[in-house]
Amino acid sequence: MPYNEEETIPVYLFLGFLESGKTKFIQETLTDKRFNTGERTLLLVFEEGEEEYDTTNFKKDNIFLRVVDDKSDMTSENLQRLVDECSAERIIIEYNGMWQVTELFDAAPDGWAFYQIMCFADATTFPQYNSNMRSLVVDKLNVCELIVFNRFEKSYDPNKFHQIVRGVSRRSEIAYEYTDGTVAYDDIEDPLPFDIESPHIIINDSDYALWYRDIMEEPQKYDGKTVTFKALVAKNSKFPKNTLAAGRHIMTCCVDDIQYCWCAAQFDDISDIKEKSWVMLTAKIKVQRHKLYRGKGPVLFVTDFFPSAPPEKEVATFY
């Protein structure tokens, strides 16, 4: 029977560029009896690489392979049709490495729940991809829970790969699959450049991007703390009374992706604060619901501020 849109269907998403090992891993997963226990599974392939799926080892009555190689076919209606055709109970996706992941998220029908997102990378070519297609690499690292660097040689320096990943995400786990078949998980420590244990955290201009990413990924650990940092404030007539956006522009990978990254800030009075002015502010952080967020988020209750000169580098980076 067709899938009920009011229910959720688990989606397992596998990312990576051509020849990164996605197909091999999915093939092994689907032939593993611990994972494949009979659920009707839609194997949705958005990229056909050199290695093809060997369907002879699949249970024919529960694995349904479908290929979508034209981006124009990646619509909510078409994706839902594929689910309905096979009455799928779960979905496994091998995604096209040259497409933005956000395009898939936007097209995903209501009810799709992304349970796990993994990224695979060929360690011999990953540095070149990062240099030449940085925005696509960042796109994948931003959302994956685990990145696996395969074909990893003992002579390679894990720090080099670690720094690339951590320049985008502090949440992603990192695994190195060596050419001898052994696997090692990354255990390199990443101390933050500010004292997270202090009740009053001082954010240097050069550390804003790291702090912003960290508070957005783990806001609860900042709940109740006081923070001081330099911010560019933005006004909007639609904001609640005495509310401003306080933040800075951040560049993740290139000039084209510079975004204003802000927090909701509550002031006693904003009448004398000029739009797009720089201030040094001190605020108490409370994680709660706010109209400027879709749900809960870190709200800055400003206790002190004064006009300030812009930082030396107005656009913050992770490096």
Kindly list the structural domains of the chain, giving each domain's residue range(s) and its CATH number in brackets, ordered by start: 9-185 (3.40.50.300), 200-316 (2.40.50.140)
Tokens of 30: 């689907």
Round to whole Å and give the CA distance between 9 and 114: 8
pLDDT higher than threshold 80 for residue 58: no
Q: Is-contact 39 10, C-beta < 8 A?
A: no
Q: Residue 104: enclosing H or E segment and its boundaries?
A: helix 101-107
Q: Are 127 and 139 in contact (CB under 8 A)?
A: no
| Residue 2 confidence class, pLDDT cut points 50, 70, 90 | very low
pTM beyond 0.75: the answer is no
- Reported confidence tier of residue 4, pLDDT bands at 50, 70, 90: very low
Return the pLDDT at 282: 98
* Measured CA distances, 134 to 122, 128, 139, 141 (Å): 15, 9, 8, 10
Q: CA-based angle 198:277:223, to the nearest 5?
A: 25
What pLDDT score was predicted for residue 156? 96
Whether the pLDDT of residue 278 is over 90: the answer is: yes
Average pLDDT of the chain is 91
Cβ proximity of 132 and 106 under 8 Å: no
